[in-house]
Amino acid sequence: MPHAVSPSPDAEAPTNVGDSYMSDAPAAPLESEEAASETDDLPTPQNATPGASKNLEDMFDDDSDDDEFSSSAATRPDASSQPEPRSAPSKPRYAEPDTLRQFYSRIFPFRPLFQWLNHSPTPQPDFQNREFAFVLPGGAYIRYQSFASADLFRKQCIQMTPERFEIGPQYSINPRDRKTLRKASAFRPVMKELVFDIDMTDYDPIRTCCSGAAICSKCWQFITMAIQVVDAALREDFGFQHILWVYSGRRGAHAWISDKRAREMDDTKRKALANYLVLVSGNEQGKKTGIKRPLHPHIDRSLKILNPYFQTDVLADQDPWHSSEHAEKLLALLPDKTLATALQKKWDSSPNRSSNQKWSDIDTVAEAGNLSATFTAKQLVEAKQDIRLEYTYPRLDAEVSKKLNHLLKSPFVVHPGTGRVCVPIDTRSLEAFDPFSVPTVTQLLQEIDEWDKAHVGMSEEDRSKVQDWQRTSLKPYVEYFRGYVASLLKAESAGKRGREEEGGGETMEF
């Protein structure tokens, strides 16, 4: 079930197109053992085109575009009008190689992306030894691509028109040369941005509006809350400054932290940091790691951030305990049986109380003396805190953050299921971000045409001053990204100079 068959943007998409990342596919034998569980039941990408799978290794070694197995659309432009019959009838327009080629050649901001990953204007190993993985139309998954410069990267994107590509770590040597090493262990990841993935599916146990791949503006609020909490912790607790939040194209958000200190973290530190942030896990509802008292300052701060959202977005909008079966969930979360029974009785006699009312009922009923003798008011306050956290605290897909060599979808690529561009989210106006107003690739191409029509009278010279992306609604996003990258490069070069001066000082002593 390659993603190409998904008929329309809103249709239920196959799982492997989601906002997911691929952990190591069997191409890397040593790591495949630890591949995360999402590989379950998904076709491993190589195997999606059976003929290609065997030759895949060779395929990106010699870089040959052998017609025998490479998905023809990618390498021969003329074939694009006749995609594989299997996927042809329902293939959405934004997944067409032609659309993608236009997108990559005219709109995609390769230059800032390159600088962002390279941490310098001139190519250095940060970019050159970095792994990119391409997902080609047809489903083939090609790992260990690397590029000497932004231009070469762009060229290959235009030529192969990947549906999306993912960014991996910088390796100890150029990933394309990894087979030339005598010792496989000399090929190892050395640096990557710290990444986070927040996915709406982890919220399924607590959201009432949608489920699975679908989202609406109500449940997007969960992502907004999560971004605020995680962002605050990363900045205040860990002192990171260069944090880029990116809409994942459908139902979640990614974070990329580019601080040097973050990039150089090894797996132990990544795991520690991820677990520091994880409190509630997505799949086992109600099973939290016990929250200790007194609250850790991080949890305390998070609660302060989340409290207002709990009132408006959870109690009012989600109304998670409205029906009596849902209310049982709430009762199960209350540790005191006497209180739970009293509440049950009250709600049985007057059904249709809203979540907001039920939430305040807890206090009224408790005050009326329906508490066990051993259960103190303080415990009740704590139990209510726990419930608030359960319903608001970020649910991270922590596995993504824990491994240095994990690949994650690049910003600005097109989500193959929705056609939306994975744009950065400006945290200064986080509340204003609306995932449904994010432009789709087809819309962007249209906007260029419209702009051209509207500016027919403009002189050729003036026209060329306005680049294609500036003619579209992607403009603010690209500008935000450029500004972000500029500040990163500035900090990077300042840091470098500082270190050199320091080093110079040391040599003077000799």
Partner 1 sequence: MLAVTSAPRIASNKRTVVDARRQQFAKTRHAPEEYPHRLNFYLVPPAGDIALEQFEEWAIARLKVLGELESCQFRNKTPAETDEHMKPVLDKYMRLSSNASRSGEVQDERKRDHYSHWTLRLAFSSTPDLRQRFARLETQLLKLRMASDDARERRAFIDSLSMSWETLSEEEKITWLDQLKAATNLKRDEEESWFKVAWEKVPELVERRQCLLKRGVAYVHVREQQTMVINEFSRQLETGLELAARNLPRMDEDNRLSPILHHLSQSFVAPDAGYSESSSIGDITTPTAAAIDGLSQHFPLCMQNLHRELRKNSHLKHFGRLQYTLFLKGIGLSLQECILFWRKSFKLIADDKFKSDYLYNIRHAYGDVGGDSNRRGRGYTPYSCQKLLTEPAPSAGQTHGCPYRTYNPDNLLSLLQSVGVSDRTLLQGVKEDVGKQRYHIACNRVFDYAHKAQIKKVKDEGLWSASELDLVLHPNAYFKRSFLLKNLGKVKAGDLGVDGAFGVSSGGAGEKMEE
CA atoms within 13 A on the CB side of 465: 5
210 binds partner 1 (CB under 8 A): no
Among 105, 172, 238, 384, binds partner 1 (CB under 8 A): 238
The secondary element (H helix, E strand) that includes residue 174 is: none
Q: CA–CA separation, 246 vs 227, rounded Å?
A: 10
Percentages helix, strand, coil for the chain, rounded to the nearest 5?
55, 10, 35
Which is nearer to partner 1, 40 or 461 (by Cβ)?
A: 40
Listed in sequence order, the residues at least 6 apart from 404 whose beta carbon sits closer than 8 Å to its beta carbon are 169, 189, 191, 192, 265, 266, 267, 270
Q: Is 53 an interacting residue with respect to partner 1 (CB under 8 A)?
A: yes
Strand bridging mode 189-191 / 252-257: unpaired
Residue 424 Cβ, how far from partner 1 at the closest point, in Å?
24
Query: Interface with partner 1 includes 260 (CB under 8 A)?
Result: no
- Of these residues, 24, 131, 166, 317, which one is catalytic? 131
Span 130-189, contacts to partner 1 by CB under 8 A: 182-185
Residue 501's CB is within 10 A of a number of other CB atoms, namely 10
Work out whether 272 is an interface residue with partner 1 (CB under 8 A): yes
Q: Give 469's strand partners.
A: none
Q: At what angle do helices 355-367 and 337-349 cross, to 10 degrees?
A: 130
Out of 261, 326, 346, 353, the residue judged to bind partner 1 by CB under 8 A: 261
Length of the chain in residues, anyone?
A: 510
Selected from 111, 218, 260, 271, the binder of partner 1 by CB under 8 A is: 271
Does position 33 interact with partner 1 (CB under 8 A)? The reply is yes
> Could you tell me which residues are beta bridge partners of residue 141?
135
Q: Among residues 7, 212, 297, 476, which is the contact residue for partner 1, using CB under 8 A?
A: 297
Residue 299 within binding range of partner 1, rule CB under 8 A: yes
| Interface with partner 1, residue 40, by CB under 8 A | yes
What are the angstrom distances between the C-alpha of 144 and each of 63, 69, 126, 168, 461?
Answer: 12, 18, 14, 9, 41
Catalytic residue selected from 24, 163, 197, 447: 197
Instruction: Give least dist CB 468 to partner 1, A.
Output: 39
Cβ proximity to partner 1, 46 vs 70, nearer residue: 46
Determine if 257 is a binding residue for partner 1 (CB under 8 A): no
* Cα–Cα distance for residue pair 185/236, rounded to 1 Å: 37
Instruction: Based on the residue annotation, tell me whether 500 is a catalytic residue of this protein.
Output: no
When asked if residue 85 is in the footprint of partner 1 (CB under 8 A), the reply is no
Q: How far is the C-alpha of 135 from the C-alpha of 199, rounded, in Å? A: 20
Kindly state whether residue 491 participates in binding partner 1, applying the rule CB under 8 A.
Answer: no
**What single string gives the DSSP state of each residue in 180-239?**
G-S-GGG--EEE--EEEEEEGGGGTTT-SS--TT---HHHHHHHHHHHHHHHHIIIIIT-
**Among 8, 10, 12, 50, which residue sits at the site for partner 1 (rule: CB under 8 A)?**
50
Least distance CB 110 / partner 1 (angstroms): 31
* Closest residue by Cα to residue 258 from 159, 167, 131: 167
| Assigned token pair, 262 | 């973050």
Question: Measured from the CB of residue 291, what is the shortest distance to partner 1 in angstroms?
Answer: 10
C-beta closer to partner 1: residue 272 or 486: 272
* Helix ranges (DSSP H) in 25-146: 29-32, 50-62, 72-75, 97-102, 110-118, 125-128
Q: Which of 155, 218, 298, 329 binds partner 1 (CB under 8 A)?
A: 298
Coil, strand or helix: which one is 440?
A: strand
- The question of whether 199 is a catalytic residue gets the answer yes
Told to check if 232 binds partner 1 by CB under 8 A, we report no
Query: Applying CB under 8 A, does 288 fall inside the site for partner 1?
Result: no
Q: Which of 19, 126, 166, 199 is catalytic?
A: 199
| Residue 197: active-site member | yes
132: β partners: 145, 167
Q: Number of residues interacting with partner 1: please give it, by CB under 8 A.
A: 49
Rounded to whole angstroms, the Cα distance separating 161 from 136 reads 7
Shortest Å distance, C-beta 52 to partner 1: 10
Instruction: CB nearer to partner 1: give 379 or 443.
Output: 379
User: Would you call 48 helix, strand, or coil by DSSP?
Assistant: helix
269 binds partner 1 (CB under 8 A): yes
Q: Is residue 476 within the footprint of partner 1 (CB under 8 A)?
A: no
Where is 194: in which H helix or E strand?
A: strand 194-199
> Which residues are identified as catalytic?
131, 197, 199
Instruction: Tell me which residues touch partner 1 (CB under 8 A).
Output: 26-30, 32-33, 35, 37, 39-41, 43-44, 46-48, 50, 53-54, 57, 182-185, 236-240, 261, 265, 268-269, 271-273, 275-276, 283-284, 292, 294-300
